[in-house]
Chains A and B, each alone.
Chain A
């Protein structure tokens, strides 16, 4: 068992090295120094406290989305719709804030209600994909993709329609909420320790759900063999729906964090692509919850660190996306190679 894990790790390390190798070649082809680029990415993410705080800001939604996706992947579902579920989480959070804008309730309670609202919003959006899948026979990939577009369109409609700023609507989003609606930030940094705590609770929750509960074991059985799970007496489609709901709630929480802790309003690209990035993280860690924290942190660091590239090296910041994509491809490739040529265990 331990030998097996070590073997696995060596394949993944090889994939990591290969990914950096390919990206280095790309950099060399445009006459840029790979080592300088990596150094700048590192400095841009871990170089100073302010920058590390930015990394954590990206880490929070990414970890929540990854945690949710671990649940849907366990039940054998490709919840591509997670991106839209983040968006709906943000929309629902905004809606709750707007609803209580002039109320006398304590702000803390409103923040809690807004976050719960966000989780419900994400869960409802995921339930739509689930209903399409279970009752309509629509593959969750297609259903989810469609719902993602609808979610984006809905955001734009709200920003330019019912929720537009007084005077003229703009791409900069809705009117910012008052300061007391924001999750408290840590000193003068942009990261809220509360958001971090919520994200960590999310992943710990999923870890125990999948590792230690009957629910998690049944979910895995459904994911690995739907038919056999049914014959073993597990209510299969219900479990598919549960996993959509849990993933949607966690994605919705990510959307809520984007509104409550980062942007303090609804903006058009509120999800910042964390849904799709979360899919990559989940694939990269081979659906093991333990690895979610370091890998999500690594991806967040790449995202934030690469912001330095256009400023210092006149390179496009999408380099981090290239590195992430290549990395996932190589890890999947390594898994394929291992399956084909590796010793059968």
Chain B
């Protein structure tokens, strides 16, 4: 099926998430969509698969016919199937029942017939599934295959795959690619959304690169990796000279730390972070840096190794113990984890302080709030609720909650969505804490410029692998971009893997 996107625009409030995107995907191609987090890939795919509606004036043309896609069910009727990053299935149910769920019509589903179709389809694409087994017995990779089969079964002619290679093994990836490569012969179209350069280069017949909501370019093989990286991350904007820190004593020391969650394993990381030092964590979202920063905060138990904070062994201790030892963590999800909706700025500042007595001294609280509002340049009043503040002001309010004294500040995307002045302001405050408190900073950012600008050393994460610390002063955006995309690990990665 030929998919043509014409002048696709999408605003979320003030954010222009898709800026007039024009893209023609001919029948029988595997189209790669490449871009960093927040480039607008997901928005575009959600529009094509009916999850969200584009702004008026946008056009989707399938095989020459303009269509309006109101819902995901609508999309599948037009033959567009989307494979989500997280499988949308029902783990406690049988495979066959998962299949029957998507079917329309009939009060009593015909299990026998469907089971036959199921087996036929599985054989055709070389999958081996027992329709009577349960979904939760499958691996993530197998659930993906099941989902592809379900979409085939529902008659999909266009397959959208959103970051399908995250969290699956190398063998499963090969199998997935082999399956996808059969699709063009049957006049089916594949749209492969990824930030992994290697995957895109290996699989796709053509690649479109998005950045900042717009389409910045299209290329065909042979691909030049450095070109792709440049298109993805753009040219540098200057933020002034770097200010390397004078590193002091060791603040936090990790020895052979291993971490694990359902998707990811990180093995044997050893690192000393010094007072006054800033460590940037780079990598695409979900590459393991979130586990690392949570382990530094005591929010995630290590499965091996030891963590010492200023000489004190805190391995396996709770977040509150870490906090008492001067570790502060500011999560990316400001409104979900960082701030309490419905409470005012004053309430927040009072909560963050040690209680003095039983009753709250309102006047003192008001004074405290006024001071903080002024010194952190927050546009808001002491009794403003946090949800009434703009994103940048919420971020400043979070910073204003940092306790004194501090030994380690952990930040997730501290400046995401903020304008350049706010970025500079926030970093001047943070660097200030390094100087006055001798605090070390570890931060995650998807903005490579920011990572190189403000870090002393950088750790790159890719699929749970951690690079040796890179000297931020001697690393370029291109090098970092390649590592993030999974290239050039042979000489960097072995330090920790």
Q: Mark A211-229, 1 if CB is under 8 A from B, else 0.
A: 0111101101100110111
| Number of residues from B at the complex interface, CB < 8 A | 26
A224 touches which one: B343, B360, B383 (CB < 8 A)? B343
A227 and B294 CA atoms in complex are apart in Å by 14
A283 and B26 CA atoms in complex are apart in Å by 58
Known pairs A227-B336, A231-B337, A232-B351; A213 contacts B342 (CB<8 A):
no
Across-interface contacts of A162 in B (CB, < 8 A): none
Known pairs A224-B342, A231-B329, A233-B323; A213 contacts B359 (CB<8 A):
yes
Q: Mark B344-365, 1 if CB is under 8 A from A, else 0.
A: 0001101110010111101000
B351 and A234: CB pair below 8 A?
yes
B338 and A220: CB pair below 8 A?
no
A235 and B355 CA atoms in complex are apart in Å by 13
B172 smallest CB distance to A (angstroms) = 33
A214 touches which one: B336, B337, B342, B355 (CB < 8 A)? B355
Across-interface contacts of A220 in B (CB, < 8 A): 340, 342-343, 347
Nearest-neighbor residue (CB-CB) of B385 within chain A: A345
A233 and B318 CA atoms in complex are apart in Å by 11
B351 and A213: CB pair below 8 A?
no
Q: Which of B353-393 contact A (CB under 8 A)?
A: 355, 357-360, 362, 383
Nearest-neighbor residue (CB-CB) of B323 within chain A: A233
Q: Which of A139-197 contact B (CB under 8 A)?
A: none
B360 and A217: CB pair below 8 A?
yes
B340 touches which one: A214, A215, A224 (CB < 8 A)? A224
A228 touches which one: B339, B355, B358, B360 (CB < 8 A)? B339
Across-interface contacts of B323 in A (CB, < 8 A): 233
A230 at the interface (CB under 8 A from B): yes
Q: Which of B295-321 contact A (CB under 8 A)?
A: 319-320
A68 and B354 CA atoms in complex are apart in Å by 27
A232 and B401: CB pair below 8 A?
yes
Known pairs A221-B351, A233-B323, A234-B351; A228 contacts B340 (CB<8 A):
yes
- Which of B336, B340, B358, B359 gathers most chain A CB within 10 Å? B340
A231 touches which one: B319, B350, B359 (CB < 8 A)? B319
Known pairs A217-B351, A234-B351; A224 contacts B341 (CB<8 A):
yes
A334 smallest CB distance to B (angstroms) = 19
Nearest-neighbor residue (CB-CB) of B388 within chain A: A345
B338 and A231: CB pair below 8 A?
yes
A238 smallest CB distance to B (angstroms) = 11
B352 touches which one: A1, A212, A232, A235 (CB < 8 A)? A232
B331 at the interface (CB under 8 A from A): yes
B337 and A227: CB pair below 8 A?
yes
Known pairs A212-B360, A230-B319, A231-B329; A225 contacts B341 (CB<8 A):
yes
A232 smallest CB distance to B (angstroms) = 6
B359 and A212: CB pair below 8 A?
yes
Nearest-neighbor residue (CB-CB) of A220 within chain B: B343
A214 and B365 CA atoms in complex are apart in Å by 11
B338 and A228: CB pair below 8 A?
yes
Across-interface contacts of B341 in A (CB, < 8 A): 224-225
A271 smallest CB distance to B (angstroms) = 32
A233 and B320: CB pair below 8 A?
yes
Nearest-neighbor residue (CB-CB) of A215 within chain B: B358
A225 and B340: CB pair below 8 A?
yes
A228 and B338 CA atoms in complex are apart in Å by 5
A240 smallest CB distance to B (angstroms) = 15
Across-interface contacts of A214 in B (CB, < 8 A): 350, 355, 357-360
A217 and B338 CA atoms in complex are apart in Å by 16
Across-interface contacts of B336 in A (CB, < 8 A): 225, 227-228
A102 smallest CB distance to B (angstroms) = 42
B359 and A221: CB pair below 8 A?
no
B190 smallest CB distance to A (angstroms) = 38
Across-interface contacts of B343 in A (CB, < 8 A): 217, 220-221, 224
Q: Which of B47-88 contact A (CB under 8 A)?
A: none
Nearest-neighbor residue (CB-CB) of B348 within chain A: A232
A186 and B358 CA atoms in complex are apart in Å by 36
A1 and B381 CA atoms in complex are apart in Å by 13
A233 and B338 CA atoms in complex are apart in Å by 11
A271 and B158 CA atoms in complex are apart in Å by 63
Across-interface contacts of A215 in B (CB, < 8 A): 358
A218 and B320: CB pair below 8 A?
no
Nearest-neighbor residue (CB-CB) of A345 within chain B: B388
Across-interface contacts of B331 in A (CB, < 8 A): 231
Across-interface contacts of B355 in A (CB, < 8 A): 214
B81 smallest CB distance to A (angstroms) = 34
A30 and B338 CA atoms in complex are apart in Å by 56
B337 and A228: CB pair below 8 A?
yes
A231 and B340 CA atoms in complex are apart in Å by 11
Q: Mark B104-128, 1 if CB is under 8 A from A, else 0.
A: 0000000000000000000000000
Across-interface contacts of A213 in B (CB, < 8 A): 358-360
Q: Which of A17-38 contact B (CB under 8 A)?
A: none
A137 smallest CB distance to B (angstroms) = 17
B339 and A217: CB pair below 8 A?
no
Across-interface contacts of A221 in B (CB, < 8 A): 340, 343, 347, 351
A220 and B346 CA atoms in complex are apart in Å by 14
A217 and B358: CB pair below 8 A?
no
Known pairs A227-B337, A231-B329; A217 contacts B350 (CB<8 A):
yes
A220 and B358 CA atoms in complex are apart in Å by 16
Nearest-neighbor residue (CB-CB) of A230 within chain B: B319
Across-interface contacts of B352 in A (CB, < 8 A): 232-233
Across-interface contacts of A212 in B (CB, < 8 A): 359-360, 362
Nearest-neighbor residue (CB-CB) of A214 within chain B: B355
A46 smallest CB distance to B (angstroms) = 37
A316 and B52 CA atoms in complex are apart in Å by 53
Across-interface contacts of B339 in A (CB, < 8 A): 225, 228
A303 and B319 CA atoms in complex are apart in Å by 50
Across-interface contacts of A224 in B (CB, < 8 A): 340-343
Q: Mark A291-331, 1 if CB is under 8 A from B, else 0.
A: 00000000000000000000000000000000000000000
B27 smallest CB distance to A (angstroms) = 45
B438 smallest CB distance to A (angstroms) = 21
A104 smallest CB distance to B (angstroms) = 39
A74 smallest CB distance to B (angstroms) = 11
Across-interface contacts of B338 in A (CB, < 8 A): 228, 231
Across-interface contacts of A218 in B (CB, < 8 A): 351
Nearest-neighbor residue (CB-CB) of B299 within chain A: A231
A224 and B348 CA atoms in complex are apart in Å by 12
A287 and B4 CA atoms in complex are apart in Å by 54
Across-interface contacts of A1 in B (CB, < 8 A): 383
B330 smallest CB distance to A (angstroms) = 8
Across-interface contacts of A225 in B (CB, < 8 A): 336-337, 339-341
Q: List 20 interface pairs A-B (beta carbons < 8 Å), by A numbering.
A: A1-B383, A213-B358, A213-B360, A214-B357, A214-B360, A218-B351, A220-B343, A221-B343, A224-B343, A225-B340, A225-B341, A228-B336, A228-B339, A229-B340, A232-B340, A232-B351, A232-B352, A233-B320, A233-B323, A233-B352
Please give 7 more A-B residue pairs, beta carbons under 8 A apart, in addition to A217-B360, A228-B336: A212-B359, A213-B358, A225-B337, A225-B339, A228-B339, A231-B319, A232-B348
Report B's interface with A, CB cutoff 8 A. Answer: 319-320, 323, 329, 331, 336-343, 347-348, 350-352, 355, 357-360, 362, 383, 401
- The 8 A-B pairs of least Cβ separation, nearest first, read A214-B355, A225-B340, A221-B340, A224-B340, A224-B342, A227-B337, A228-B340, A212-B359
